[in-house]
């Protein structure tokens, strides 16, 4: 039914990692240190590996209380943000996938299952089926005395072997980074998002003015300048010249900005920048003077 330890299988070739996968791991490492939102990193993971829903779950080993009470979830749930009838995701698939190995599964190993494997577990099957998600990957992150932490990714189609290979290559790194996380990271995110939160595209940040004076997205000075110049209409070449930086540095700034603003592309970032800018009546001349 279920498969584990995919990272150890002999596939006969090295699939390599694309830029998006590397950036997703980098965002994850930043998130566990509290530098960017955890939901932003989960979104990056989904974008890189083709998932629609990703969650960090802490599952209690003891069979006391309801199953929901035994699980704490912080999730990026893309489909819940576009379909109002779908409630926020609040269940973990780790117990169903890892079964008796829940408390001892190798950290960083890859476990996967098909949604039909959950048909006899309605609390899990129903929300996945409602979202039309087909396959699930579970990565053990850390085991505690009475609980375990997992990264769970849910996919809208059958997972290609190359995707499993790539996940296998980064699984151990993701788990090691999680063990170095800032104190109370999961609890802080859980308290902010809650079980019913639809954390997918950051609805709570939908109308945030990224360039507001109080800097709500906690951008660095350099990241703030990039956003100002983008909102003024500058293209890549002009940005590089204006800021006197290289392409790699600009790419790093944009990756950090996407994570902090809960956006996934320059087009999406521009939309978030330009709507508030129009309300403020910001003009290019004003922007240029502010970043000079």
Three-class secondary structure of residue 131 per DSSP: coil
Three-class secondary structure of residue 137 per DSSP: strand
> H-helix or E-strand containing 135?
strand 135-143
Domains of the chain: 6-203 (3.30.450.40), 207-291 (1.10.10)
| Of 107, 138, 108, 134, the residue nearest 119 (C-alpha) | 134
**Using one digit for the tens of pLDDT, what is the confidence trace for 204-259?**
455 678 888 878 888 888 889 998 899 888 888 888 988 899 998 998 888 888 87
Contact 42, 56 (CB under 8 A): yes
Would you state the torsion angle of the CA atoms of residues 30, 32, 35, 37, taken in this order, to the nearest 10 degrees?
100
Q: How far is CA 10 from the centre of its chain?
A: 28
Report pLDDT for 12: 40
Q: What is the DSSP pairing of strand 71-77 with strand 111-114?
A: unpaired
Report pLDDT for 2: 52
**Residue 202: which pLDDT band, with cuts at 50, 70 and 90?**
very low
Three-class secondary structure of residue 129 per DSSP: helix
CA 145 – CA 67 distance, rounded (Å): 18
**Using one digit for the tens of pLDDT, what is the confidence trace for 56-75?**
999 998 765 545 557 889 99
CA 98 – CA 150 distance, rounded (Å): 10
From the CB of residue 28, how many other CB atoms can be counted at a distance below 10 Å?
26
From the CB of residue 221, how many other CB atoms can be counted at a distance below 10 Å?
9
Angle separating helix axes 247-261 and 236-243, nearest 10 degrees: 100
> H-helix or E-strand containing 254?
helix 247-261
Q: Which residue did the predictor score with more confidence, 186 or 119?
A: 119
Three-class secondary structure of residue 97 per DSSP: helix
Q: Put the strands of the sheet holding 53-60 in their side by side order.
A: 71-77, 53-60, 147-155, 135-143, 111-114
121-127 average pLDDT score: 89
CA 19 – CA 231 distance, rounded (Å): 25
Single pTM value for the model: 0.66
**Using one digit for the tens of pLDDT, what is the confidence trace for 94-112?**
999 999 999 999 999 999 9
Three-class secondary structure of residue 76 per DSSP: strand
Residue 59 gets the label, from left (phi > 0), alpha (psi -120 to 50) or beta, of: beta
Report pLDDT for 269: 86
């Amino acid at each position: 039914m279920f498969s584990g330890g995919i990272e150890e299988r002999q596939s006969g070739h090295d699939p390599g990692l694309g830029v998006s996968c590397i950036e997703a791991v980098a965002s994850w490492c930043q998130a566990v240190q509290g530098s960017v939102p955890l939901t932003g990193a989960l979104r990056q993971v989904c974008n890189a590996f083709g998932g629609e829903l990703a969650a960090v779950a802490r599952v209690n080993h003891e069979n006391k209380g309801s199953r929901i009470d035994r699980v704490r979830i912080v999730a990026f749930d893309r489909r819940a943000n576009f379909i109002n009838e779908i409630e926020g995701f609040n269940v973990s698939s780790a117990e169903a996938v890892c079964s008796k190995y829940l408390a001892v599964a190798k950290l960083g190993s890859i476990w996967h299952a098909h949604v039909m494997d959950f048909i006899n577990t309605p609390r899990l099957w129903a929300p996945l089926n409602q979202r039309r998600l087909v396959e699930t990957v579970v990565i053990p992150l850390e085991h505690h005395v009475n609980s375990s932490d997992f990264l769970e990714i849910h996919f809208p189609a059958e997972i290609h072997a190359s995707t499993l290979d790539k996940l296998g290559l980064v699984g151990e790194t993701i788990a090691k980074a999680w063990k170095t996380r800032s104190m109370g990271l999961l609890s802080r995110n859980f308290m902010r998002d809650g079980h019913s939160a639809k954390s997918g595209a950051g609805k709570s940040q939908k109308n945030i003015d990224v360039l507001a004076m109080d800097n709500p997205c906690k951008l660095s000075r350099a990241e703030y300048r990039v956003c100002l110049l983008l909102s003024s209409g500058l293209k890549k070449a002009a940005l590089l010249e204006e800021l006197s930086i290289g392409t790699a540095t600009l790419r790093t700034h944009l990756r950090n900005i996407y994570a902090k603003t809960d956006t996934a592309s320059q087009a999406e970032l521009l939309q978030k920048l330009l709507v508030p800018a129009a309300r403020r009546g910001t003009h290019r001349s004003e922007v240029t003077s502010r970043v000079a």
